[in-house]
């Protein structure tokens, strides 16, 4: 969040769309990772 805020205020206005795109892709990646972690956690299998 801090990096995105810094990019919004420090970069040129032309790059605002890229900053938004970066935020969207970061959100999608983090959500996918969280879903994968939760799916692995909820499995009933044991590896003993």
Parent domain of 13: 2-42
**What is the rounded CA–CA span in Å between residue 16 and residue 34?**
27
pLDDT(44) > 80: no
Share of the chain above pLDDT 90, in %: 33
Please give the tally of structural domains in the chain. Answer: 1
pTM reported for the whole predicted model: 0.65
What is the mean predicted confidence (pLDDT) over 33-39?
Answer: 96
If DSSP codes are grouped into helix, strand and coil, which group holds residue 40? helix
What is the mean predicted confidence (pLDDT) over 25-37?
Answer: 95
Report yes or no on 48 lying in a domain: no
**What is the rounded CA–CA span in Å between residue 20 and residue 11?**
12
Report yes or no on 47 lying in a domain: no
């Amino acid at each position: 969040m801090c990096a995105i805020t810094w990019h919004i205020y420090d970069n040129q206005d032309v790059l605002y769309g890229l900053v938004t795109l970066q935020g969207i892709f970061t959100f999608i990646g983090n959500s996918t990772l969280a879903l994968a972690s939760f799916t692995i956690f909820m499995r009933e299998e044991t590896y003993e």
